[in-house]
Structure 1
Amino acid sequence: MKGYTKPVLLITIILLIDQISKFWVKLNMTINQQFKVIGDKVLIHFIENPGMAYGMEFGGEYGKLFLSVFRIIAVIGIGYGLHYMIKNKYNRGFILNVALIFAGAMGNIIDSAFYGMIFSESTPFQKAVLFPEGGGYATFLHGYVVDMLHFPLINGTFPDWFPFWGGERFQFFSPIFNVADSAITVGVIMILIFQKRYFKEEHVENSNVNSEIVED
Protein backbone atom coordinates (compact mmCIF):
# COMPACT_ATOMS: atom_id res chain seq x y z
CA MET A 1 0.00 0.00 0.00
CA LYS A 2 3.04 2.25 -0.01
CA GLY A 3 2.40 5.30 -2.18
CA TYR A 4 -1.40 5.01 -1.90
CA THR A 5 -1.79 6.65 1.52
CA LYS A 6 -1.59 10.33 0.54
CA PRO A 7 -3.69 10.08 -2.66
CA VAL A 8 -6.40 8.04 -0.88
CA LEU A 9 -6.37 10.44 2.09
CA LEU A 10 -6.66 13.46 -0.23
CA ILE A 11 -9.53 11.87 -2.17
CA THR A 12 -11.33 11.02 1.09
CA ILE A 13 -10.95 14.55 2.49
CA ILE A 14 -12.21 16.20 -0.73
CA LEU A 15 -15.19 13.85 -0.94
CA LEU A 16 -16.12 14.41 2.70
CA ILE A 17 -15.93 18.22 2.43
CA ASP A 18 -17.81 18.17 -0.87
CA GLN A 19 -20.63 15.90 0.28
CA ILE A 20 -21.03 17.42 3.75
CA SER A 21 -21.31 20.91 2.23
CA LYS A 22 -23.83 19.70 -0.35
CA PHE A 23 -25.95 17.86 2.22
CA TRP A 24 -25.99 20.91 4.48
CA VAL A 25 -27.03 23.25 1.67
CA LYS A 26 -29.62 20.84 0.32
CA LEU A 27 -31.27 20.35 3.73
CA ASN A 28 -31.00 23.93 5.03
CA MET A 29 -31.50 26.22 2.03
CA THR A 30 -34.07 26.80 -0.68
CA ILE A 31 -33.20 27.23 -4.37
CA ASN A 32 -31.61 30.64 -5.07
CA GLN A 33 -31.32 31.42 -1.36
CA GLN A 34 -27.99 33.00 -0.48
CA PHE A 35 -26.12 34.47 2.46
CA LYS A 36 -22.94 36.45 2.78
CA VAL A 37 -19.74 34.92 4.15
CA ILE A 38 -17.35 37.83 3.51
CA GLY A 39 -19.18 40.99 2.46
CA ASP A 40 -20.49 40.86 -1.11
CA LYS A 41 -17.44 39.00 -2.42
CA VAL A 42 -17.84 35.53 -0.90
CA LEU A 43 -21.37 34.13 -0.97
CA ILE A 44 -23.15 30.85 -0.44
CA HIS A 45 -25.80 30.76 -3.16
CA PHE A 46 -27.75 27.54 -3.64
CA ILE A 47 -28.54 26.38 -7.16
CA GLU A 48 -28.87 22.96 -8.76
CA ASN A 49 -27.09 22.16 -11.96
CA PRO A 50 -28.59 19.49 -14.26
CA GLY A 51 -25.58 19.47 -16.55
CA MET A 52 -21.88 20.20 -16.47
CA ALA A 53 -19.50 22.01 -14.12
CA TYR A 54 -19.91 25.71 -13.23
CA GLY A 55 -23.61 25.78 -14.05
CA MET A 56 -23.40 24.75 -17.72
CA GLU A 57 -26.14 22.49 -19.07
CA PHE A 58 -26.10 19.66 -21.57
CA GLY A 59 -29.04 18.62 -23.76
CA GLY A 60 -32.15 17.58 -21.77
CA GLU A 61 -32.87 14.15 -20.27
CA TYR A 62 -30.85 12.13 -22.79
CA GLY A 63 -28.02 14.62 -22.54
CA LYS A 64 -28.12 14.30 -18.77
CA LEU A 65 -27.99 10.49 -18.97
CA PHE A 66 -25.15 10.62 -21.50
CA LEU A 67 -23.20 13.02 -19.29
CA SER A 68 -23.68 10.84 -16.19
CA VAL A 69 -22.53 7.70 -18.04
CA PHE A 70 -19.59 9.60 -19.54
CA ARG A 71 -18.59 10.79 -16.04
CA ILE A 72 -18.63 7.23 -14.72
CA ILE A 73 -16.50 5.96 -17.60
CA ALA A 74 -14.10 8.90 -17.14
CA VAL A 75 -13.77 8.24 -13.41
CA ILE A 76 -13.04 4.56 -14.04
CA GLY A 77 -10.35 5.59 -16.52
CA ILE A 78 -8.85 8.19 -14.17
CA GLY A 79 -8.94 5.70 -11.30
CA TYR A 80 -7.09 3.09 -13.34
CA GLY A 81 -4.57 5.71 -14.48
CA LEU A 82 -4.03 6.81 -10.89
CA HIS A 83 -3.38 3.22 -9.81
CA TYR A 84 -0.91 2.80 -12.68
CA MET A 85 0.93 6.03 -11.79
CA ILE A 86 1.26 5.07 -8.13
CA LYS A 87 2.39 1.55 -8.98
CA ASN A 88 5.02 2.88 -11.39
CA LYS A 89 6.16 5.64 -9.02
CA TYR A 90 5.28 8.70 -11.08
CA ASN A 91 6.02 12.18 -9.71
CA ARG A 92 4.21 12.53 -6.36
CA GLY A 93 2.91 16.02 -7.15
CA PHE A 94 1.44 14.79 -10.43
CA ILE A 95 -0.23 11.86 -8.66
CA LEU A 96 -1.81 14.17 -6.07
CA ASN A 97 -3.14 16.47 -8.79
CA VAL A 98 -4.70 13.52 -10.61
CA ALA A 99 -6.16 12.45 -7.25
CA LEU A 100 -7.78 15.91 -6.98
CA ILE A 101 -9.36 15.48 -10.42
CA PHE A 102 -10.54 11.98 -9.51
CA ALA A 103 -12.09 13.17 -6.23
CA GLY A 104 -13.87 16.08 -7.94
CA ALA A 105 -15.30 13.85 -10.64
CA MET A 106 -16.44 11.33 -8.01
CA GLY A 107 -18.09 14.07 -5.96
CA ASN A 108 -20.28 15.21 -8.84
CA ILE A 109 -21.08 11.64 -9.90
CA ILE A 110 -22.49 10.96 -6.43
CA ASP A 111 -24.92 13.89 -6.91
CA SER A 112 -25.98 12.77 -10.38
CA ALA A 113 -26.36 9.11 -9.47
CA PHE A 114 -28.00 9.24 -6.05
CA TYR A 115 -29.34 12.67 -5.02
CA GLY A 116 -32.49 12.29 -7.11
CA MET A 117 -33.24 9.04 -5.29
CA ILE A 118 -32.58 10.15 -1.70
CA PHE A 119 -33.76 13.79 -1.65
CA SER A 120 -37.09 15.46 -2.32
CA GLU A 121 -37.08 18.35 -4.79
CA SER A 122 -35.60 21.68 -3.72
CA THR A 123 -37.72 24.69 -4.71
CA PRO A 124 -37.56 28.46 -4.08
CA PHE A 125 -40.21 27.91 -1.38
CA GLN A 126 -39.27 24.58 0.20
CA LYS A 127 -36.15 22.88 1.51
CA ALA A 128 -35.38 19.31 0.50
CA VAL A 129 -36.07 16.33 2.74
CA LEU A 130 -33.72 13.34 3.03
CA PHE A 131 -35.39 9.99 2.21
CA PRO A 132 -38.87 11.45 1.64
CA GLU A 133 -42.00 9.30 1.65
CA GLY A 134 -42.82 8.26 -1.88
CA GLY A 135 -39.21 8.47 -3.05
CA GLY A 136 -36.96 11.18 -4.42
CA TYR A 137 -37.38 13.69 -7.22
CA ALA A 138 -35.58 11.69 -9.94
CA THR A 139 -34.34 8.25 -10.94
CA PHE A 140 -30.81 6.81 -10.88
CA LEU A 141 -28.29 8.94 -12.83
CA HIS A 142 -30.81 11.79 -13.25
CA GLY A 143 -30.07 13.75 -10.08
CA TYR A 144 -28.94 17.39 -10.07
CA VAL A 145 -25.50 18.55 -8.96
CA VAL A 146 -25.58 20.91 -5.98
CA ASP A 147 -23.64 24.19 -6.42
CA MET A 148 -23.20 26.87 -3.80
CA LEU A 149 -19.86 28.73 -3.96
CA HIS A 150 -20.13 32.19 -5.52
CA PHE A 151 -17.30 34.74 -5.66
CA PRO A 152 -18.53 37.88 -7.50
CA LEU A 153 -15.22 39.66 -6.95
CA ILE A 154 -15.70 42.50 -9.43
CA ASN A 155 -18.93 44.18 -10.56
CA GLY A 156 -18.86 46.95 -13.12
CA THR A 157 -19.95 48.30 -16.49
CA PHE A 158 -18.15 48.01 -19.80
CA PRO A 159 -17.24 51.46 -21.22
CA ASP A 160 -19.43 52.65 -24.09
CA TRP A 161 -16.56 52.31 -26.58
CA PHE A 162 -16.00 48.62 -25.71
CA PRO A 163 -16.87 46.34 -28.70
CA PHE A 164 -20.14 44.33 -28.49
CA TRP A 165 -20.70 44.81 -24.74
CA GLY A 166 -20.33 48.61 -24.43
CA GLY A 167 -22.50 49.96 -21.62
CA GLU A 168 -23.50 46.50 -20.34
CA ARG A 169 -22.99 45.29 -16.78
CA PHE A 170 -20.39 42.59 -16.08
CA GLN A 171 -19.41 40.44 -13.13
CA PHE A 172 -16.19 38.59 -12.38
CA PHE A 173 -16.34 35.78 -11.20
CA SER A 174 -19.97 34.91 -12.05
CA PRO A 175 -20.17 31.05 -12.09
CA ILE A 176 -21.59 29.23 -9.06
CA PHE A 177 -19.77 25.98 -8.33
CA ASN A 178 -18.92 23.44 -5.61
CA VAL A 179 -15.93 21.86 -3.87
CA ALA A 180 -15.75 19.06 -6.44
CA ASP A 181 -15.53 21.56 -9.32
CA SER A 182 -12.79 23.39 -7.43
CA ALA A 183 -10.79 20.19 -6.94
CA ILE A 184 -10.94 19.40 -10.67
CA THR A 185 -9.95 22.95 -11.62
CA VAL A 186 -7.03 23.10 -9.18
CA GLY A 187 -5.78 19.68 -10.31
CA VAL A 188 -5.87 20.62 -14.00
CA ILE A 189 -4.26 24.05 -13.46
CA MET A 190 -1.46 22.59 -11.32
CA ILE A 191 -0.69 19.98 -13.98
CA LEU A 192 -0.56 22.67 -16.68
CA ILE A 193 1.70 24.91 -14.58
CA PHE A 194 4.13 22.19 -13.47
CA GLN A 195 3.92 19.82 -16.43
CA LYS A 196 7.56 20.38 -17.44
CA ARG A 197 8.75 19.45 -13.97
CA TYR A 198 6.47 16.43 -13.72
CA PHE A 199 7.31 14.96 -17.10
CA LYS A 200 10.97 15.96 -17.01
CA GLU A 201 11.45 13.94 -13.84
CA GLU A 202 9.58 11.03 -15.40
CA HIS A 203 11.81 11.23 -18.50
CA VAL A 204 14.95 11.25 -16.32
CA GLU A 205 13.73 8.21 -14.35
CA ASN A 206 12.96 6.29 -17.55
CA SER A 207 16.38 7.19 -18.95
CA ASN A 208 18.06 5.87 -15.81
CA VAL A 209 16.10 2.61 -16.02
CA ASN A 210 17.06 2.17 -19.68
CA SER A 211 20.72 2.84 -18.87
CA GLU A 212 20.68 0.19 -16.18
CA ILE A 213 19.15 -2.32 -18.64
CA VAL A 214 21.88 -1.56 -21.25
CA GLU A 215 24.67 -1.91 -18.67
CA ASP A 216 23.33 -5.27 -17.54
Structure 2
Amino acid sequence: MAERLHPGGYLLRALLVLVLDQLSKRWVLAVFEPYEVLPLLPACNLTLVFNEGAAFSFLSDAGGWQRWFFIGLTSLISLGLFVWLMRLRQHERLTAISLAMILGGALGNLIDRVRLGKVVDFLDFYWQQWHWPAFNLADSAITVGVALMLLASWKHADS
Protein backbone atom coordinates (compact mmCIF):
# COMPACT_ATOMS: atom_id res chain seq x y z
CA MET A 1 0.00 0.00 0.00
CA ALA A 2 1.38 3.41 -0.99
CA GLU A 3 2.41 5.84 1.72
CA ARG A 4 0.08 8.74 2.45
CA LEU A 5 1.01 12.12 1.07
CA HIS A 6 2.01 14.73 3.65
CA PRO A 7 -0.65 17.42 3.09
CA GLY A 8 1.00 20.33 4.93
CA GLY A 9 2.65 21.89 1.88
CA TYR A 10 -0.51 21.53 -0.15
CA LEU A 11 -2.60 23.13 2.58
CA LEU A 12 -0.10 26.02 2.58
CA ARG A 13 -0.68 26.34 -1.18
CA ALA A 14 -4.42 26.52 -0.56
CA LEU A 15 -3.79 29.18 2.10
CA LEU A 16 -1.59 31.14 -0.32
CA VAL A 17 -4.38 31.13 -2.94
CA LEU A 18 -6.85 32.25 -0.27
CA VAL A 19 -4.63 35.08 1.02
CA LEU A 20 -3.75 36.39 -2.46
CA ASP A 21 -7.41 36.29 -3.46
CA GLN A 22 -8.57 38.16 -0.36
CA LEU A 23 -5.78 40.75 -0.55
CA SER A 24 -6.57 41.47 -4.21
CA LYS A 25 -10.28 41.84 -3.44
CA ARG A 26 -9.65 44.12 -0.47
CA TRP A 27 -7.43 46.30 -2.65
CA VAL A 28 -10.06 46.50 -5.40
CA LEU A 29 -12.79 47.33 -2.85
CA ALA A 30 -10.62 50.10 -1.37
CA VAL A 31 -9.64 51.66 -4.71
CA PHE A 32 -12.60 51.21 -7.07
CA GLU A 33 -16.22 52.27 -7.18
CA PRO A 34 -18.61 49.66 -8.62
CA TYR A 35 -18.31 49.46 -12.43
CA GLU A 36 -15.34 51.84 -12.49
CA VAL A 37 -13.01 50.76 -15.30
CA LEU A 38 -9.23 50.88 -15.30
CA PRO A 39 -7.67 49.71 -18.59
CA LEU A 40 -4.82 47.40 -17.64
CA LEU A 41 -3.72 45.78 -20.90
CA PRO A 42 -5.18 45.57 -24.36
CA ALA A 43 -8.25 43.35 -23.90
CA CYS A 44 -8.10 43.50 -20.08
CA ASN A 45 -9.61 45.93 -17.59
CA LEU A 46 -9.90 46.05 -13.85
CA THR A 47 -13.58 46.63 -13.07
CA LEU A 48 -15.27 46.17 -9.69
CA VAL A 49 -18.45 44.13 -10.03
CA PHE A 50 -20.36 41.94 -7.60
CA ASN A 51 -21.81 38.52 -8.27
CA GLU A 52 -24.61 37.23 -6.06
CA GLY A 53 -24.83 34.01 -8.06
CA ALA A 54 -22.42 31.30 -9.12
CA ALA A 55 -20.21 31.05 -12.20
CA PHE A 56 -21.36 33.31 -15.04
CA SER A 57 -23.82 34.94 -12.58
CA PHE A 58 -25.99 31.80 -12.47
CA LEU A 59 -28.91 32.47 -10.07
CA SER A 60 -27.71 36.02 -9.39
CA ASP A 61 -31.26 37.36 -9.60
CA ALA A 62 -32.89 34.58 -7.56
CA GLY A 63 -34.08 36.84 -4.74
CA GLY A 64 -31.50 36.32 -1.99
CA TRP A 65 -31.94 32.66 -1.00
CA GLN A 66 -29.00 31.73 -3.21
CA ARG A 67 -26.53 33.33 -0.78
CA TRP A 68 -27.22 30.71 1.88
CA PHE A 69 -27.49 27.94 -0.68
CA PHE A 70 -24.03 28.74 -2.09
CA ILE A 71 -22.56 29.18 1.41
CA GLY A 72 -23.81 25.73 2.37
CA LEU A 73 -22.83 24.09 -0.90
CA THR A 74 -19.36 25.65 -0.91
CA SER A 75 -18.82 24.66 2.72
CA LEU A 76 -19.70 21.03 1.98
CA ILE A 77 -17.57 20.93 -1.16
CA SER A 78 -14.63 22.51 0.68
CA LEU A 79 -14.91 19.93 3.45
CA GLY A 80 -14.98 17.16 0.84
CA LEU A 81 -11.91 18.60 -0.90
CA PHE A 82 -10.06 18.81 2.42
CA VAL A 83 -10.87 15.18 3.30
CA TRP A 84 -9.88 14.06 -0.19
CA LEU A 85 -6.57 15.92 0.10
CA MET A 86 -5.87 14.32 3.48
CA ARG A 87 -6.38 10.82 2.03
CA LEU A 88 -4.10 11.13 -1.00
CA ARG A 89 -1.08 8.90 -1.52
CA GLN A 90 2.49 9.97 -2.36
CA HIS A 91 2.08 9.30 -6.09
CA GLU A 92 -0.94 11.66 -6.32
CA ARG A 93 0.95 14.96 -6.13
CA LEU A 94 -0.70 16.53 -9.20
CA THR A 95 -4.11 15.74 -7.73
CA ALA A 96 -2.97 17.32 -4.44
CA ILE A 97 -1.88 20.51 -6.21
CA SER A 98 -5.19 20.70 -8.07
CA LEU A 99 -7.20 20.14 -4.88
CA ALA A 100 -5.19 22.83 -3.07
CA MET A 101 -5.93 25.35 -5.81
CA ILE A 102 -9.63 24.49 -5.92
CA LEU A 103 -9.90 24.55 -2.11
CA GLY A 104 -8.12 27.91 -1.79
CA GLY A 105 -10.33 29.44 -4.47
CA ALA A 106 -13.53 28.01 -3.02
CA LEU A 107 -12.69 29.36 0.43
CA GLY A 108 -11.83 32.78 -1.02
CA ASN A 109 -15.24 33.09 -2.63
CA LEU A 110 -16.92 31.62 0.46
CA ILE A 111 -15.42 34.39 2.61
CA ASP A 112 -16.90 36.98 0.23
CA ARG A 113 -20.35 35.41 0.45
CA VAL A 114 -20.26 35.30 4.25
CA ARG A 115 -18.82 38.83 4.62
CA LEU A 116 -20.60 40.66 1.82
CA GLY A 117 -23.41 38.43 0.60
CA LYS A 118 -21.82 38.38 -2.84
CA VAL A 119 -18.52 37.64 -4.56
CA VAL A 120 -16.12 40.42 -5.58
CA ASP A 121 -15.05 40.14 -9.23
CA PHE A 122 -12.71 42.51 -11.00
CA LEU A 123 -10.84 40.91 -13.91
CA ASP A 124 -12.57 41.92 -17.15
CA PHE A 125 -11.23 40.36 -20.34
CA TYR A 126 -12.77 41.35 -23.65
CA TRP A 127 -12.45 41.33 -27.40
CA GLN A 128 -13.84 44.38 -29.20
CA GLN A 129 -17.35 44.74 -27.70
CA TRP A 130 -17.60 41.20 -26.28
CA HIS A 131 -16.71 40.83 -22.58
CA TRP A 132 -16.06 37.55 -20.80
CA PRO A 133 -17.87 37.51 -17.43
CA ALA A 134 -15.74 39.26 -14.81
CA PHE A 135 -13.89 36.99 -12.40
CA ASN A 136 -11.28 37.04 -9.63
CA LEU A 137 -8.13 35.20 -8.49
CA ALA A 138 -10.18 32.56 -6.66
CA ASP A 139 -12.06 31.76 -9.88
CA SER A 140 -8.75 31.53 -11.73
CA ALA A 141 -7.32 29.13 -9.15
CA ILE A 142 -10.44 26.96 -9.34
CA THR A 143 -10.24 26.86 -13.14
CA VAL A 144 -6.53 25.97 -13.17
CA GLY A 145 -7.13 23.41 -10.40
CA VAL A 146 -9.90 21.72 -12.40
CA ALA A 147 -7.68 21.66 -15.50
CA LEU A 148 -4.88 20.06 -13.46
CA MET A 149 -7.38 17.56 -12.05
CA LEU A 150 -8.38 16.57 -15.58
CA LEU A 151 -4.71 16.21 -16.49
CA ALA A 152 -4.09 14.06 -13.40
CA SER A 153 -7.08 11.88 -14.33
CA TRP A 154 -5.81 11.54 -17.87
CA LYS A 155 -2.30 10.64 -16.67
CA HIS A 156 -3.77 8.12 -14.22
CA ALA A 157 -5.89 6.52 -16.96
CA ASP A 158 -2.77 6.08 -19.12
CA SER A 159 -0.81 4.32 -16.37
Contact map agreement 1:37 1:43 (CA 8 A) in 2: yes
Give yes or no for the alignment of 1:195 onto 2:148: no
Identity %: 28
Distance 1:77 1:194 in 2: 18
The residue type paired with residue 71 of structure 2 is S
2:136 pairs, out of 160, 171, 178, with 178
Distance 1:57 1:24 in 2: 27
Task: Name the Cα RMSD after superposition.
Answer: 2.0
Runs of 4+ in 1 over 6 A off after TM superposition: none
Q: CA deviation at 1:188?
A: 0.8
The residue type paired with residue 184 of structure 1 is I
Contact map agreement 1:104 1:183 (CA 8 A) in 2: yes
TM-score by structure 2 length? 0.87
Question: Max radius of gyration: which structure?
Answer: 1
Partner of 1:49 in structure 2?
A: 51
Partner of 1:17 in structure 2?
A: 20
Q: How big is each residue's C-alpha offset from its partner over 1:11-60, in whole Å with a ceiling of 9 and x where there is no partner?
A: 12211110001001112111101101113x12101101111134333422
Q: CA deviation at 1:90?
A: 4.3
Distance 1:177 1:199 in 2: 32
Q: How big is each residue's C-alpha offset from its partner over 1:49-89, in whole Å with a ceiling of 9 and x where there is no partner?
A: 1111343334221222112111111111111111111xx33
Partner of 1:8 in structure 2?
A: 11
Contact map agreement 2:121 2:136 (CA 8 A) in 1: yes
**Could you say what secondary structure the match of 1:177 adopts?**
coil
**Could you say what secondary structure the match of 2:64 adopts?**
helix
Distance 2:75 2:63 in 1: 18
Unaligned runs of 5+ residues in structure 1 are 117-142, 156-169, 202-216
Distance 1:67 1:82 in 2: 22
2:118 pairs, out of 114, 128, 144, with 144
Partner of 1:83 in structure 2?
A: 86
Q: For this pair of structures, how many residues does the alignment match?
A: 155
Flag the structure with higher helix content. Answer: 2
Distance 1:101 1:80 in 2: 13
Give yes or no for the alignment of 1:100 onto 2:101: yes
